[in-house]
């Protein structure tokens, strides 16, 4: 019995050893397979990460491109707004210039008409009288009586044409004949302008001062004050110049002359 048991035990041990080796071999093969799979998975993960990184880089480029596009759009919008504003300003300026030119053309036509009337009136006044009986019966020219507005227009026409002596005489005549009319302040102002054009700043100051003193409600007051300031500068009367310029700013702060007066004061010591 003992003799039979020993071989069985030996055979069992051998079988057991054989099974363990096969399992070990299989295990090793499995491990190799798992390692290969792991390496493959790691490689796939590496490729995926590279793809994600590439996508991130591409997304960043797209973000930068969008940001640049936004900046360009903002710049274009700003330039468009400026262009629109410039066009509107230029259009307004052109309209204003057109209006001014139309006004000047109309004024020139009116002045020419007045000049022709003036010449005709003077020709009638200077025409020789017919002393014959026929002449007395048939021809009786009368010198037309000049209305205040007509006299003013003729004086202003002469002033505009540079005929200062004649204009001066006519403006003075207007002030003598029609001192209380609405255009009296304008007539006095243009007398000052005539002296100013001749560089007679002292006489100009006298006339502009009368405009301010005698016609305080006239629209010519602000113009007269500005010319008083300029004349005072030309006469080296700095204190008077500052006084007149400051009066403009205080009394007529919204006027164009106030802006000019401020610029003159800013540029003076």
Asked if residues 174 and 157 have their Cβ atoms less than 8 Å apart, the reply is no
Q: Nearest 5°: CA angle at 182, between 160 and 178? A: 85
Of 241, 237, 240, nearest to 265 by C-alpha is: 241
Q: Would you say residue 84 lies in a domain?
A: no
Q: Would you say residue 176 lies in a domain?
A: yes
Q: Would you say residue 261 lies in a domain?
A: yes
Tell me the residue range of the domain where 201 lies.
146-266
Give the other-Cβ count within 10 Å of 19's Cβ: 10
For residue 140, the model assigns a pLDDT of 42
Q: Would you say residue 232 lies in a domain?
A: yes
**Domain CATH number, residue 217:** 1.25.40.10
Total domain count for the chain?
1
Spatial distance between the Cα atoms of 145 and 137, rounded to a whole number of angstroms: 22
CA dihedral 36, 41, 47, 50 (to 10 degrees): -120
Q: Would you say residue 122 lies in a domain?
A: no
Q: Would you say residue 59 lies in a domain?
A: no
Q: Would you say residue 226 lies in a domain?
A: yes
Q: Would you say residue 5 lies in a domain?
A: no
**Residue 56: both structure tokens together:** 């991130």
**Residue 54: both structure tokens together:** 């590439």
Q: What are the angstrom distances between the C-alpha of 96 and each of 93, 106, 143, 209? A: 5, 15, 42, 33
Cα of 48 vs its chain's centroid, Å = 60
Spatial distance between the Cα atoms of 69 and 137, rounded to a whole number of angstroms: 95
| pTM, two decimal places | 0.49
Asked if residues 121 and 144 have their Cβ atoms less than 8 Å apart, the reply is yes
Per-residue pLDDT of the chain (269 residues; tens, 9 = 90+): 555 555 555 655 555 555 577 767 777 777 788 888 888 888 888 888 888 888 888 878 888 888 888 888 777 766 655 555 455 445 454 554 555 455 555 555 555 655 665 665 555 555 555 545 444 444 444 444 468 899 999 999 999 999 999 999 999 999 999 998 999 999 999 999 999 999 999 999 999 999 999 999 999 999 999 999 999 999 999 999 999 999 999 999 999 999 999 999 988 65
Of 64, 65, 45, nearest to 53 by C-alpha is: 45
């Amino acid at each position: 019995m003992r003799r039979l048991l020993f071989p069985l035990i030996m055979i069992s041990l051998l079988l057991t050893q054989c099974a363990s080796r096969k399992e070990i071999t299989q295990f090793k093969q499995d491990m190799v397979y798992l390692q290969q799979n792991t390496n493959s998975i790691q490689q796939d993960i590496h490729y995926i990460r590279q793809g994600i990184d590439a996508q991130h880089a591409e997304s960043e480029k797209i973000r930068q491109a969008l940001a640049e596009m936004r900046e360009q759009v903002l710049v274009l919008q700003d330039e468009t707004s400026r262009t629109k504003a410039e066009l509107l300003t230029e259009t307004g300026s052109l309209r204003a210039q057109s209006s001014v030119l139309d006004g000047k053309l109309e004024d020139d036509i009116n002045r020419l008409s007045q000049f022709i009337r003036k010449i005709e009136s003077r020709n009638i006044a200077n025409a020789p009288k017919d002393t014959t009986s026929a002449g007395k019966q048939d021809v009786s020219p009368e010198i037309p009586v000049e209305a205040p507005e007509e006299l003013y227009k003729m004086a202003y026409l002469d002033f505009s044409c540079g005929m200062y002596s004649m204009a001066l005489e006519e403006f003075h005549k207007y002030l003598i004949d029609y001192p209380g009319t609405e255009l009296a302040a304008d007539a006095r102002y243009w007398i000052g302008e005539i002296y100013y054009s001749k560089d007679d700043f002292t006489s100009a100051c006298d006339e502009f001062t009368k405009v301010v003193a005698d016609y305080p409600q006239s629209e010519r007051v602000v113009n007269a004050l500005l010319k008083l300031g300029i004349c005072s500068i030309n006469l080296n009367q700095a204190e008077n110049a500052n006084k007149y310029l400051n009066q403009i700013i205080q009394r007529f702060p919204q006027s164009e002359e106030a802006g000019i007066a401020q610029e003159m004061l800013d540029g003076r010591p």
